[in-house]
A and B are shown apart, each in its own frame.
Chain A
Amino acid sequence: MGYLGQIFVMAITAIFIQNYVLSRFLGLCPYLGVSKKIDSAFGMGMAVIFVMTLTSSITYLINRYLLTGMMYLQTIAFILTIAALVQFVEMVIQKKAPALYKSLGVYLPLITTNCAVLGVAILNTTALRPDGITPYNFLDSTLNGFFSGVGFTVVLLAMAGIRMRLELVNLPKSMKGMPIALILAGIMALAFYGFMGFKI
């Protein structure tokens, strides 16, 4: 398989087969919390793609060149990187693109505690390319961060679309809100299990 083919497999795996939310259980808080409206779901999704891509590339460099022989510092180093990065991105966007800041603004600080972001950074350190032997290089890590962000956004948008319709449905009082959202997520996860059979 050529390199482009492997990247394609990585993309399909991250978005559908091993979706971060529905099969790895990462990033559930924003998935359940920010999926009430399509607009806010889209804003959150974009912010997550942005931060995940940047985090993946920077944590790759930190892990490869700074942490050699000090693996026990990994968790602390990664979470500090993410916190600093989110703060930095927030300031840059606020200065350079006020319109984007207005739409992303509230979601950016929330991303620090989105476990999908720390999750992708940690998983990248041990992940292998689809051929099963080569560890990720810098480009692979960055791309994997991007694809994982896209996977998150896809299910977040789907969930928001369904939940907007649910507003109009006459539900039993005890099922309103979180319970029905969770059951919905379960049905979506069941549907995503269909992708598991894919062998690429």
Chain B
Amino acid sequence: MSILVDRDTRVICQGITGKVGEFHTRGCLDYGTRMVGGVTPGKGGETVAGLPVFNTVAEARDATGANATMIFVPPAFAADAILEAVGAGIELVVAITEGIPVIDMARVLPVVRDSGSRLIGPNCPGVITPAECKIGIMPGYIHAPGHVGVMSRSGTLTYEAVWQLTQLGRGQSSCVGLGGDPLVGSSFIDILALFEADPDTHAILMMGEIGGSAEEEAADYVRQHVTKPVAAFIAGRTAPPGKRMGHAGAIISGGKGTAAAKLTALADAGIEIAESPADMGAALVRAIERRASARGR
């Protein structure tokens, strides 16, 4: 088992005729993902990477039975692309696009909330269940199948963590990139609930960063609802206040969203803290061992 995606997930790519969309569609195909088609308005009937292109998501869904979409549509049109996917009843919408205006997402989120769809991202690397299904831009080969659930607000930092886990012999059940924007479709809490319910996930590693309060909320949730061992890393201990650190959401404003506050909240919830980015995989192993020794007593 796993969360969100598996070998039966049928995936389309919105923006498949763009350079980036095509490149990553091929990457997902190479990994073994069941890519079944793509969508670009006005380019229906074409073929990209051997896949049929449709004008609308609804047509693509009807023709292919797709239940997931990967969005590479440029920022100015991406919010509309998300709404189109939700409107067509696609269950899992993964928005990779970086640079969507915040107000556009404020318009999108209530629609997603009232639908049966789940949105991951935007501005995220995507979702992967190792050896089964990759939807996104992450390098597939660093992953290994296993039992650690991984979730993060950052892309390359996730790769770093996954690579450490794989080298320690700890494979992953699923890895979810939540996205680096202020407003995203799924929070740490949403994914924690899925990992907690997934029998194949035995421990959880999360990577947060400065800005907002999603990590503090996750800490509260872990204390109340999560029985599995959890480890965490927070990026940005040295980040100065008032400066946007690359991600639109990574900013300390008004004294809020500091790494120190997040680390305190996480540690207070009994979460194992990785003190350095080199320590993420090891922290997860410590969290598992600590739990095992507590059980042994």
Q: Do A and B bind each other?
A: no
